[in-house]
């Protein structure tokens, strides 16, 4: 039994479930996917038509890619079949069974705040003679491997899924029988038009009686509506008379379903009759259209995020209000004192802090970790400047999350509860020649001491600083003094170049200017694209990384990054690294791990009494 509380448990690892899990995790939710199969679902070699981003891809290839991507975002437990659902309470409980060996079955329980049901359709056996004997020897319930060109293939079923498979085998050159016991198909008119234009031999109102053969299937005996019996030659029969075998599970949990066992949802948001329970894909529609299932999974994830946000707001308002100490009382402990505070912009704050021991030892590129309250988190900040004579360090931060917003309320004279530093390795500074320095947004602060050190070493420094808009530009005069050239870019064009700082570097290189080294500090996308450009032009590049960090001394491993294929800890191996070797994709994913918690925490702070 697991005591962990998940934001979302997804039941089913098909296109709808995986797409929903990926999107929910991108929105900051902690997501668990439960899949009954022992591995990625088998989807066969049939092509998926019209899926965005792929001119041609098979169902299996697409599902493999989805599963690989989902593993970066969510936890996926395979071979766990959901046996029971308790969904009516605010905390939902999902029970699974795992078979251990031949006789032992173990039960697990998962607690969560929301559930997305995205189970697939399971094949319905015909229960006719020879079916068991020739299972996987000519009789199949999902697309088998193998080349069936110029072979006889029979598809049994009445849904669009059966029609699609018949068209697939017809397209690869098989002789296809499409057999249904009904007088029509439950399929889209567009599919029926394609079927009518194909070479598929359709047998309406026919029933399969038994399968024949020796070691492998060779014949299938059929009976027509008028009682006539005959055999067809077929090396492979694909039974697609699907049914939803989870109907009892859904109904026992209190979900409203159709007589066929499909969960009834509100089409605009995929929610069911139970608050906090959503459904998507085959569990609601009874077919297996990949694109539609993926879209419904994404739509459900968006609604789940909104549902959890509203739920958190209601819970917070329902809690008994607690007295919050006045800020003047809160910040009276600690040896380090803020001696000067300045708002550089509506979002960015500059502190000058009395910290003689840290000021004495700090070198360019190093950082400190501070904490302002007993129950507060540890915040890493690069030292933007240090004055050994005055015993002060300069810290610049952006008010983004709860902790930095709280820090923004502090004033000169307030005490910092804990301050540890200097941490990390100083940046490597050499006389390279001409160096381009890029500082983006609040990244201008940590790049400032590097710029000073580069110029003092005898380099010709071309600095480019950028921000979304001119009011957010910081340290302009300091960077101008530390550089040989200073160039400015803003996203909205309110000052300097209208665009990104990287645009200017590209222009300089295209104009024939030579750079021996580049230093880039700023948001992850800015450093990523800068390094992609400098790699093309073989320009060595140094970046400063700020991943999630806890202790800052190499013990927790939270700040791990991959550089040159090796795992490094930013707190002790960095934070300055060879940017051409950094795995920015992994860094981006890890940086999003606590978006949901940060959003909730900031929301609570906004509702607290001042």
Residue 192 shares a structural domain with residue 218: yes
Tokens matching residue 188: 């889209």
* Residue-wise DSSP of 248-301: HHHHHTT--B-TTSPBP-BTTTTB-SSTTEEE-THHHHSS--HHHHHHHHHHHH
List the structure tokens of 500: 């990104």
**Residue 606 is assigned to a structural domain of this protein:** no
HSE of 188 in the Cβ direction (CA atoms, 13 Å)?
Answer: 10
Q: What is the CATH number of the domain that holds 335?
A: 2.40.30.10
Q: Is there a contact between 364 and 427 (Cβ–Cβ < 8 Å)?
A: yes
- Are 587 and 445 found together in one domain? yes
State the Cα–Cα distance between residues 239 and 442, nearest whole angstrom: 61
> Do 46 and 94 sit in the same domain of this protein?
yes
CA dihedral 409, 415, 418, 419 (to 10 degrees): 90
Q: Among the three residues 243, 270, 286, which one is the final residue of a domain in this structure? A: 243
| Domain at 511, CATH number | 3.40.50.80
Higher-confidence residue of 268 and 527: namely: 527
Indicate the range of 54-68, 82-96, 179-193, 252-266 predicted with least confidence.
54-68
Distance of alpha carbon 22 from alpha carbon 29, whole angstroms: 10
Nearest CA to 384 among 374, 393, 376, 372? Answer: 393
Q: If phi over 0 gives left and psi between -120 and 50 gives alpha, with beta otherwise, what is residue 254?
A: left
Q: Return d(Cα 138, Cα 151) in angstroms, integer.
A: 12
- For 529-563, how does the pLDDT look when each residue is reduced to its tens digit (9 = 90+)? 999 999 999 999 999 988 888 878 888 888 889 99
Residue 521's pLDDT is what? 92
Which residue, 162, 157, 387, 400, is CA-closest to 288?
A: 162
Q: Taking 50 as the threshold, does the pLDDT of residue 196 lie above it?
A: yes
How far is it, in rounded angstroms, from Cα 338 to Cα 416? 7
Last residue of a domain, one of 243, 263, 284: 243
Q: Which tokens hold the place of 534?
A: 């400098």
Q: Which of 25, 19, 5 is nearest to 593 (CA)?
A: 25
Check whether 320 has a pLDDT greater than 70.
no
Mean per-residue pLDDT for 469-487? 91
pLDDT digits (tens, 9 = 90+) for 15-25: 899 999 999 98
The predicted structure's pLDDT at residue 325: 40
Taking Cα atoms as reference points, which of 266, 272, 268, 232 lies closest to residue 254? 272
Contact (Cβ atoms closer than 8 angstroms) between residue 466 and residue 441: yes
Same domain, 20 and 47: yes
Asked if residue 607 has pLDDT above 90, the reply is no
Name the DSSP class of 135: B
Q: Which range (187-201, 215-229, 257-271, 501-515) has the least confidence?
A: 257-271
Q: List strand residue ranges (DSSP E) for 491-598, in order.
A: 497-498, 517-521, 541-544, 560-563, 566-569, 576-578
Is it the case that residue 329 has pLDDT exceeding 80?
A: no
Both tokens assigned to 203: 């047998």
Q: Verify that 336 and 370 share a domain, yes or no.
A: yes
- The structure tokens 């927790």 sit at 556
Q: Beta strands 139-140 and 152-156: pairing type?
A: unpaired
Percent of the chain at pLDDT exceeding 90: 42
Which of 4, 29, 13, 155 has its CA nearest to residue 91? 4
Taking residues 108-126, report their average pLDDT.
87
* Number of other CB atoms surrounding residue 350 within 10 Å: 19
Percentage of the chain modeled with pLDDT above 70 = 88
Range from 27-31, 196-200, 421-425 that averages highest in pLDDT: 196-200
Element (H, E) at 229: strand 229-233
Q: Please check whether residue 518 lies inside any domain of the structure.
A: yes
Q: Are residues 474 and 563 in the same domain?
A: yes
**Residue 331: what pLDDT?**
41
* Closest to 464 (Cα-Cα) out of 36, 386, 484, 453: 484
Question: According to the model, what pLDDT value does residue 318 have?
Answer: 59
Rounded-to-integer distance, Cα 396 and Cα 417, Å: 18
Q: Is residue 609 part of a domain?
A: no
Residue range 368-388: mean pLDDT, rounded? 87
384 vs 317, higher pLDDT: 384
Mean pLDDT for 324-352 is 70
- Predicted local distance difference test score (pLDDT) of residue 243: 62
- Asked if 470 and 498 count as a contact pair (C-beta separation under 8 A), the reply is no
Specify the DSSP element, H or E, that contains 401: none
Residues 197, 70 share a domain: no
Q: In this predicted structure, which of 158-162, 202-206, 444-448, 578-582 has the lowest mean pLDDT?
A: 158-162
Residue 497 has pLDDT above 60, yes or no: yes
C-alpha–C-alpha distance, residues 267 and 284, integer Å:
10
**Amino acid 103: pLDDT:** 63
608 located within any domain: no
Nearest alpha-carbon partner for 386 in 422, 412, 424? 422
- The domain in which residue 173 lies consists of 123-243
* Stronger pLDDT, 103 or 213, i.e. the higher one: 213
Please, what is the average pLDDT of the chain? 85
610 in a structural domain = no
User: Which of the 8 DSSP states describes residue 214?
Assistant: S
CA distances from 237 to 29, 49, 154, 354 (A): 43, 24, 5, 80
Q: What is the per-residue pLDDT across 218-238, written as a single tens digit (0 to 9) for each? A: 999 999 999 999 999 999 999
Indicate if 207 and 151 belong to the same structural domain: yes
- Verify that 65 and 147 share a domain, yes or no: no
Higher pLDDT pick, 401 / 395: 395
Please report whether residue 386 resides in a domain. yes
Residues 197 and 223 in one domain: yes
Model pLDDT, residue 63: 79
Q: Is residue 603 part of a domain?
A: no
CATH number of residue 185's parent domain: 3.50.50.60
Chain segment 499-519, per-residue pLDDT in tens: 999 999 999 999 999 999 999
pTM of the model: 0.51
Give the strand order in the sheet containing 206-213.
206-213, 217-224, 229-233
Using only C-alpha atoms, what is the Rg of the chain?
31
Among the ranges given (357-366, 400-409, 463-472), the one the predictor scored with the smallest mean pLDDT: 400-409
113 has pLDDT over 90? yes
- What would the pLDDT profile of 419-468 be if each residue is shown by its tens digit? 888 888 898 899 999 999 999 988 888 899 999 999 999 999 999 999 98
Taking 90 as the threshold, does the pLDDT of residue 606 lie above it?
A: no
Please state, as a whole number, how many other Cβ atoms lie within 10 Å of the Cβ of residue 337: 16
**175 has pLDDT over 90:** yes
181-186: average pLDDT: 89
Contacts of residues 37-41 at CB distance under 8 Å and 24 or more positions apart, as own/partner, are 37/13, 37/78, 37/79, 38/78, 38/79, 39/78, 40/13, 40/64, 40/67, 41/13, 41/14, 41/120
Q: Is residue 590 part of a domain?
A: yes
- The count of structural domains within the chain is 4
How high is the pLDDT of residue 209? 94
Round to whole Å and give the CA distance between 440 and 545.
13
Of 425, 459, 474, the last residue of a domain is 425
Based on the fold, state whether residues 572 and 440 are members of the same structural domain: yes
Asked whether the predicted pLDDT for residue 375 surpasses 90, the reply is no
**Taking 70 as the threshold, does the pLDDT of residue 522 lie above it?**
yes
In this structure, the answer to whether residues 233 and 263 fall within a common structural domain is no
């Amino acid at each position: 039994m697991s005591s962990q509380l998940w934001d979302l448990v997804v039941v089913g690892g098909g296109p709808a479930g995986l797409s929903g899990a990926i999107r929910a995790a991108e929105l900051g939710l902690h997501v668990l996917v439960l899949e009954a199969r022992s591995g990625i679902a088998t989807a066969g070699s049939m092509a998926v038509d019209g899926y965005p981003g792929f001119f041609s891809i098979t169902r299996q290839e697409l599902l493999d890619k989805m599963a690989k991507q989902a593993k970066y975002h969510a936890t996926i437990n395979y071979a766990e079949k959901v046996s029971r659902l308790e969904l009516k309470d605010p905390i939902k409980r999902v029970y699974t069974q795992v078979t251990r060996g031949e006789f032992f079955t173990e039960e697990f329980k998962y607690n969560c705040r929301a559930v997305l049901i995205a189970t697939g359709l399971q094949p319905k056996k015909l229960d006719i003679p020879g079916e068991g004997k020739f299972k996987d020897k000519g009789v199949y319930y999902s697309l088998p491997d193998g080349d069936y060109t110029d072979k006889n293939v029979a598809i049994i079923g009445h849904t669009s899924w059966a029609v699609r498979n018949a068209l697939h085998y017809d397209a690869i050159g098989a002789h296809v029988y499409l057999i249904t016991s009904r007088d029509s198909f439950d399929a889209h008119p567009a599919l029926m038009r394609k079927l009518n234009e194909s070479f598929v031999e359709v047998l309406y109102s026919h029933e399969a009686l038994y399968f024949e053969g020796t070691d492998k299937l060779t014949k299938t005996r059929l009976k027509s509506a008028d009682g006539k019996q005959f055999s067809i030659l077929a090396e492979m029969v694909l039974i697609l008379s699907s049914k939803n075998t989870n109907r009892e599970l859904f109904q026992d949990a209190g979900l409203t379903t159709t007589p066929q066992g499909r969960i009834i949802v509100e089409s605009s948001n995929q929610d069911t009759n139970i608050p906090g329970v959503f459904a998507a894909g085959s569990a609601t529609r009874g077919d297996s259209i990949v694109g539609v299932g993926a879209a419904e999974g994404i739509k459900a994830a968006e609604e789940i995020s909104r549902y959890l946000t509203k739920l958190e707001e209601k819970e917070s308002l329902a809690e008994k209000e607690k007295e919050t100490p006045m800020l003047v009382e809160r910040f009276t402990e600690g040896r380090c004192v803020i001696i000067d505070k300045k708002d550089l912009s509506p979002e960015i704050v500059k502190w000058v802090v009395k910290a003689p021991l840290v000021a004495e030892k700090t070198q360019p590129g190093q950082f400190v970790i501070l904490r302002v309250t007993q129950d507060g988190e540890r915040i890493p900040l690069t030292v933007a400047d240090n004055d050994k004579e005055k015993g002060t360090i300069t810290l610049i931060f952006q008010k983004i999350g709860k902790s930095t917003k709280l820090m923004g309320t502090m004033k000169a004279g307030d005490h910092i509860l804990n301050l540890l530093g200097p941490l990390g390795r100083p940046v490597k500074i050499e006389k390279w020649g001409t160096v381009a320095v890029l500082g983006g947004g609040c990244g201008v602060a940590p790049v400032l001491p590097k710029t000073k050190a580069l110029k003092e070493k005898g380099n010709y420094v071309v600095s480019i600083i950028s921000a979304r808009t001119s009011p957010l530009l910081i340290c302009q005069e300091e960077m101008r003094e530390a550089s040989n050239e200073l160039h400015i870019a803003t996203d909205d064009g309110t000052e300097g170049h209208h665009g990104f700082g990287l645009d200017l570097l590209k222009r300089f290189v295209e104009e024939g200017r030579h750079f021996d080294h580049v230093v880039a500090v700023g948001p992850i996308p800015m450093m990523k694209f800068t390094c992609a450009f400098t790699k093309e032009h073989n320009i060595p590049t140094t970046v400063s990384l700020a991943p999630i960090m806890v202790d800052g001394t190499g013990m927790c491993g939270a700040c791990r990054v991959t550089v040159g294929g090796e795992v490094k800890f930013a707190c002790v191996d960095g934070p300055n690294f060879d940017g051409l070797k950094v795995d920015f994709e992994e860094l981006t994913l890890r940086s999003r791990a606590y978006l949901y918690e940060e959003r909730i925490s900031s929301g609570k702070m906004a509702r607290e009494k001042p």
